[in-house]
C-alpha cells in the first residue's frame, strides 16, 4: 500500500516536444506529491510539488496534473530541451511523516536535439 | 549558501566490515534524512533525525543505524556489510517544523562492498 508506481521507465522525446510521466499510488493518506530530477553523479533535486487540494500546478515549463479520485498524478514537461535529459522521480508522503518519501522507480528522459 | 555535504564520496569495503558515512546539512536545517539508492530497489527511506532524535525509520535491518549531533550533522553506520549493501547513500536536509517533503539532497556516498 506504500508503493508508488511510475511509468514509463524510459522516454525519448524530440527537442520542443512534450514529455509526460505518470505515477499512481494506493495509500490515500498521502497528501504531498513532489517530483525530483536527478542528473548523473548528483543527488535528486526538487522540481515541483503538489497537494491534493488542487488539480494542477504549473511552474515554467513544468506542470503537475493531479487526479485524486483516480489516485494518479503526472508530470508534463513542455517544450522539452536537451538539458532536461535526466532521471525523474515522483514521490509521495503523508503530513505525519513528511520527510519519509516513497519514491517511484524513476523515468530516464532523453531529449534529442 | 552551501548545500548538503556528504563524505566520503566513494568508498570500498569488504563483506563483514562496517562503514560510517557523514552528512552536513544546509545551515539552519535541523532535519536530516537518509536514503539508499540502488538500481534494483530505487530510492528507499532509511531514517530521519531531528534535534538529535530519530523521528522515523524505514524498513531496514538493525545493521543500519544513525545519529545526529547537536550541530545537526548526522552520521549513518552500517555494520556487518553484505554485498547487497552496495548502493548510493543519500543524505537530505530540510527545515525544522516544515510540513512538506521538500528535501535538499547531497551528492551521496557511493559504497561498494566486495
Mean pLDDT, rounded, of chain B: 93
Q: Does B62 touch chain A (CB under 8 A)?
A: no
Question: Which residue does chain B place closest to A40, by CA atoms?
Answer: B107
Disruptive mutation site among B10, B43, B74, B95 for chain A (greatest number of A CBs within 10 Å): B43
SS3 of residue B85 by DSSP: helix
- pLDDT for A1: 54
What residues of chain B lie within 8 A of the CB of A34, using their CB? 100-102
Gap between the Cα atoms of A46 and A23, Å rounded: 16
Question: Which residue does chain A place closest to B5, by CA atoms?
Answer: A43
Express each pLDDT in A8-40 by its tens digit: 999 999 999 999 999 999 999 898 999 999 999
* pLDDT at position B101 over 60: no
B2 pLDDT band, cuts 50/70/90, is confident
- pLDDT for B102: 81
Handedness of CA B39, A7, A100, A33 (dihedral sign): positive
User: Is residue B92 reached through a cis peptide bond, with omega within 30 degrees of 0 on the bond before it?
Assistant: no
Disruptive mutation site among A43, A92, A102 for chain B (greatest number of B CBs within 10 Å): A43
Instruction: Count A/B contacts: CB-CB distance under 8 Å.
Output: 68
Mean pLDDT of B25-54: 93
- pLDDT for A20: 98
- pLDDT for A82: 97
Phi then psi dihedrals of residue B83, to 5 deg: -55, -35
Verify whether the Cβ–Cβ distance B92 to A49 is below 8 Å.
Answer: no
Express each pLDDT in B56-89 by its tens digit: 899 999 999 999 999 999 999 999 999 999 999 9
Q: 491534493: which residue's cell? A: A52
- pLDDT for B42: 92
The H-or-E segment that residue B71 falls in is none
Q: Which stretches in chain A have pLDDT values below 50? A: none
DSSP codes, A6-35: EE-SEEEEETTS-EEEEEEE--TT--BEEE
Verify whether the Cβ–Cβ distance B42 to A98 is below 8 Å.
Answer: no
* pLDDT at position B15 over 80: yes
Percentage of chain A with pLDDT > 70? 96
* pLDDT at position B38 over 80: yes
SS3 of residue B82 by DSSP: coil
Amino acid at each position: 500500500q506504500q508503493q508508488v508506481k511510475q511509468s514509463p521507465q524510459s522516454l525519448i522525446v524530440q527537442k520542443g516536444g512534450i514529455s509526460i510521466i505518470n505515477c499512481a499510488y494506493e495509500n490515500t493518506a498521502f497528501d504531498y506529491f513532489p517530483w525530483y530530477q536527478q542528473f548523473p553523479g548528483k543527488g535528486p533535486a526538487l522540481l515541483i510539488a503538489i497537494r491534493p487540494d488542487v488539480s494542477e500546478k504549473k511552474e515554467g515549463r513544468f506542470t503537475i496534473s493531479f487526479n485524486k479520485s483516480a489516485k494518479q498524478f503526472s508530470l508534463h514537461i513542455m517544450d522539452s530541451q536537451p538539458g532536461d535529459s535526466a532521471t525523474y522521480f515522483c514521490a509521495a508522503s503523508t503530513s505525519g511523516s513528511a520527510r519519509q518519501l516513497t519514491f517511484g522507480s524513476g523515468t530516464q528522459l532523453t531529449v534529442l536535439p | 549558501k552551501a548545500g548538503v555535504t556528504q563524505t566520503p564520496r566513494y568508498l570500498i569495503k569488504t563483506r563483514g566490515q562496517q562503514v560510517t558515512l557523514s552528512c552536513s546539512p544546509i545551515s539552519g536545517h535541523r532535519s536530516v534524512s537518509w536514503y539508499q539508492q540502488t538500481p534494483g530497489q530505487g530510492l528507499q527511506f532509511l531514517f530521519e533525525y531531528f534535534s538529535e532524535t530519530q523521528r522515523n525509520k524505514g524498513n531496514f535491518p538493525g545493521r543500519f543505524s544513525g545519529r545526529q549531533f547537536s550541530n545537526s550533522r548526522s552520521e549513518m553506520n552500517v555494520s556487518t556489510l553484505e554485498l547487497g549493501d552496495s548502493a548510493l547513500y543519500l543524505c537530505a536536509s530540510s527545515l525544522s517544523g516544515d510540513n512538506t517533503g521538500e528535501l535538499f539532497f547531497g551528492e551521496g556516498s557511493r559504497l561498494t562492498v566486495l
